[in-house]
Amino acid sequence: MLRLSIRPGQAVTNLCDASDPGSYIALAQRGVFVYDWTDFASIEGPLNAYELVARPLLPIACADLPNDLREVAQAATFADVRFADSSLVAVK
């Protein structure tokens, strides 16, 4: 379970048309960019990428994470991805 608290008044942008985007929104309210594999629902064919489905207005920084989560986040880096600017994260 993600041990980050929802930040009071944290605005998010919901970018998906899921019937119940509650879990996406809850993660984004914690400052996390939320991606999901949406190829199964794409009418344009496979994207072969994770698609941004919810964006926090105020993203959390690695330095603001609890120590154990910070270690995991720092170990999982993506050289060509800047989450604030990436609507897709391609699978290579």
Rounded to whole angstroms, how far apart are CA atoms 16 and 27?
A: 14
CB 56 within 8 A of CB 29: yes
Per-residue pLDDT of the chain (92 residues; tens, 9 = 90+): 456 666 666 889 999 888 889 889 988 998 999 999 876 655 666 778 899 999 999 999 989 888 888 898 889 888 888 988 999 888 77
- The neighbouring-strand residues paired with 29 are none
**CA 15 centroid distance within chain:** 11
User: 3-state DSSP call for residue 85?
Assistant: helix
Spatial neighbors of 67 by CB under 8 A, at least 6 apart, are none
User: 3-state DSSP call for residue 29?
Assistant: coil
Confidence (pLDDT) at 6: 60
**pTM surpassing 0.75?**
yes
